[in-house]
């Protein structure tokens, strides 16, 4: 993973063979091209049930949502969350993502599914 000024430039999830991963939380400035490459490298993931995506970029939102929608179509997810930091109004693009994926996956609020270290070890 390479970060530059908090922008994701390159992210690869590599594994020898299949990888069992039920929970994946992505929180970056998402670029649709890099996100497409990342999702292509996620083909070896088995049992992914919860995909949390928090996008801190407000650029190329429509293209980013399209990439997410295409990835979700090929997975057997239980839950998908998508949040855009500092944006509390649902855009038409996000409403379309919800509508187009509602028969594939349940959508939840990002904060409802995030696992924080305190949730695991009991510390605040």
Give 36-75 pLDDT, tens digit per residue.
Answer: 988 888 877 888 899 999 888 888 888 998 999 999 887 8
For residues 69-81, one letter each, b for 16 or more C-beta atoms within 10 angstroms of the residue's C-beta and e for the rest, the string is bebbeebebeebb
Task: Give the angle subtended at the CA of 103 by the CAs of 101 and 109, to the nearest 5°.
Answer: 55
- Would 112 be classed as within a structural domain? yes
Q: Is the pLDDT confidence value at 5 over 60?
A: no
| Band (118; pLDDT cuts 50, 70, 90) | low
Full residue range of the structural domain in which residue 30 is found: 19-116
pLDDT (tens digit per residue) in 8-23: 444 555 556 677 888 8
| Band (1; pLDDT cuts 50, 70, 90) | very low
Closest CA to 110 of 77, 69, 82, 72: 82
- Would 50 be classed as within a structural domain? yes
- Would 40 be classed as within a structural domain? yes
Q: How many CB atoms lie within 10 A of CB 29?
A: 18
- Would 85 be classed as within a structural domain? yes
Distance between CA atoms of residues 55 and 77, nearest Å: 19
**pLDDT mean over 86-108:** 69
**pLDDT mean over 80-93:** 69
- Would 9 be classed as within a structural domain? no
Closest CA to 27 of 4, 42, 44, 8: 8
Closest CA to 43 of 79, 12, 64, 66: 12
- Tell me what pLDDT residue 68 has: 92
Q: What is the mean pLDDT of the chain?
A: 76
Closest CA to 78 of 39, 108, 114: 108
Give me the number of domains the chain comprises.
1
- Would 84 be classed as within a structural domain? yes
- Would 13 be classed as within a structural domain? no
């Amino acid at each position: 993973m390479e970060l530059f000024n908090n922008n994701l430039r390159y992210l690869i999830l590599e594994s020898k063979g299949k990888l069992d991963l039920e929970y994946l939380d992505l929180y970056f400035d998402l670029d649709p091209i890099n996100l497409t490459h990342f999702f292509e490298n996620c083909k070896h993931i088995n049992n992914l049930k919860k995909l949390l995506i928090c996008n801190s970029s407000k650029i190329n939102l429509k293209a980013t949502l399209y990439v997410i929608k295409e990835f979700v179509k090929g997975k057997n997810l239980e839950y998908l969350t998508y949040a855009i930091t500092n944006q509390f109004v649902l855009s038409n693009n996000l409403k379309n993502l919800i509508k187009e994926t509602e028969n594939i996956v349940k959508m939840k609020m990002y904060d409802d599914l995030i696992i924080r270290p305190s949730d695991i070890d009991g510390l605040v």
